[in-house]
Structure 1
Amino acid sequence: MNGALIIDGLHKRYGELIALQDMTFQVSPGEIFGFVGSNGAGKSTTMRIILGVLAADAGSVRLGDHPIDLQTRRRIGYMPEERGLYPKMKVGEQLVFLARLHGMSSAAARESVSRWTNRLGVEQRVNDDVGDLSLGNQQRVQLAAALIHDPRVLVLDEPFSGLDPVAVDVMSDVLKEKAAEGIPVIFSSHQLDLVQRLCDRVGIVARGQMRALGRVDDLRARDGVMLEIAGPSTRTRWADGIAGVVQADYDTEADLTTLRLDPAVADDQAILTAALRVGPVHRFATTTPSLTELFREVVAA
C-alpha cells in the first residue's frame, strides 16, 4: 500500500511577495486530487517544493511517514507545466535516459518505453527529435516521461494543456488506472470541467492559500441546494417567507424563480404546493453550482 502524500504548512516568500501561506492538504492512496487556481496562485510553487526543486521557508512534505528525500523522489512521476524535454534528442533515447536516471536497468527501461509510447499513441515517433513533434505529441511524451519508471506518486502540472479530445480521454484513463493501483495522483488544470469529472477531491488556491478543500460534490453543495421553478408569476414574489428558503431570486422576464435552500429545513413538496397556488409549474428542478461557478466565487472572495 502506498502512503498518502502529505503537504503540511508550507510557507514560501520571495522578498515582499508571499507565494505560499500555510499550504496544507494531503492526497490519499488511490485518490485523484485536483489542484486549481488562477495563474500565480501558488500551484506550481507547491508542486516544485514537493519535488525538491524549490525549498520551502517552513513546513514539510511527506510520503506516508517518510520525508521527501532523494530516494523518495525517485518514486515520484513529475510532469512540469513547462515542457522539460531535450528538443534535439530522439524520443526513445530520451525516455530510456530518464528511466535509467530513476534506477531502471537498460532492458527494463526499453520495455517501459515501448509500453508507454504505444499506450500514449507516439510509438511511431520514437526515432524523431522531440522538437520536431507537435505540441500535443510533445505533451504525450512528457507524460510518458512521468510514467516511465513506474512511479508510486504522480504530480502533474497542467497535463491536459494542448491535448486534443482523443488524447484527453487517453490521459484521463491513465490517471484513473494509476489511482486504481493505489497511487496518489495530484494534477493542476484550468479545465475545470475535467477536474469536476475526474477528481475525488479538489483544492482551490488563491494568493498562496487554500481557500476551499473537499469532495467535489460537497463543495458544490456547500451553500445549499438550488431549486429552479419556471411558470408561476415572479411578480408576486411567491417564495418569500417559505421555511427553508435562504434566498429567492426572481427573473420577471422569464417567470423563473431560483431558490437557495437549507436542505435540513426545506420541504420541496411544500414549495411545489406554494408555486402551484400562483400558477402552472413548467419546470421544477434542483441544481448545484458547477465547479467553474464555485471557482469564480472563491477566487473573487
Structure 2
Amino acid sequence: MEEVLVFPSTHYMLRAEGLLKRGGYLFRLVPAPPQAGERCTTAIAVSARDREEIVRRLEEERVLVTAVLPHEGRLERKLAEAVGKAARLGASPALERALAALHAGRRPGADAMLVERIDIEHVEPCFADETKIRLIARIPVDVSELMPYLNAVLANASYVRDRPALTFTKGPRLVTVYPRKVTIAKADDIADAEETLAWLCEKINHVHERREEIEPVYEGKIKIMPLDIYGLLPQTNCHECGEHSCLAFALLLLQEKHRLSDCGPLCREERYAAKLRRLREVLDALGLA
C-alpha cells in the first residue's frame, strides 16, 4: 500500500528524493495528472508503512509537505487538487530563481556566506488578508549582532533592541527578523516568500561582510505612540480590560502589560474586525505580536 506526498515545488520534492535515497526507502515519483495542467512533478509515492517515519524525517530536515494522500480510488483527482494548491503556494519560476540566488555560493574573492539559506518552517493564511500567506522561517545562525547594521541600511526599519527584533516592509510584505527566525506577513505565496528570504540572505551577508564600513543604528526609526494605538481601539472606555480608559489600555499594550485579547469588544464584535487586523499588523511591526 502506498501513500503520496505532495510538495510545494520541485525544490522540496528533490530534497525529499535525496533524503529517501540516502535512507534506503522504497519510493517512486508521481507525474502530475492532466487536470493539474503543465506542472512539474511535485509528488512522491512511498510505502504506507514508512510514511509516518518519512514525514517526521522530512520535518526534521525542513522539507515542506503540503499534502499526504492515500493511494486509493480517485487519487488522480485528489492529486490534481493537491498539486494545484501546492502550485498556489509556490511551484513557479520565481521560486526557482529565488533558490538559485540562495545557492549562489561564494562571491568571487569572498569567504563563504554567513547565511546560505533561510528555510520555511510554518505557513498559514495571513490574518490580515486570507488571500495571502503568513510564515515563519528559520535562520541557521544567530543574527542578533547584525540587526543594528541591517537597521542602518534599511530605510523603513524599526529596531527593538531589548527584544531584539527588526521589522521592516518590503512592498506589501511585513518582515520581522529575530535572532534565529524570520516572520513574513502578506506574502503572495511561497514563491514570493522565498524570493523575499533570498533577498534577506543577500542583505544579511552584505552587512556581515561590510560591517566595518557601516555605522550601526541602535534606535528604532519608526515610533508608535499610545494615541496611535488608541485610534484603533473601540474607544468605549468599557473597563472590561480592567483599565479606566482605552488610552490607558493602549499605553500598557505598548509596554506588553496587556494583550489584544484583553480587549473583549475588539476581539468579539465584527464591527471592529478591520481595526483588529490593523492593530495586529502594527504590533507585529513592533515585534510585540
* TM-score past 0.5 threshold: no
- Identify, as 1 or 2, the structure richer in strand: 1
Higher relative contact order (CA 8 A, sep 6+): 1
TM-score, normalised on structure 1?
0.25
Compute the TM-score of the two structures, normalised by the length of structure 2: 0.25
Bigger Rg over Cα: 1
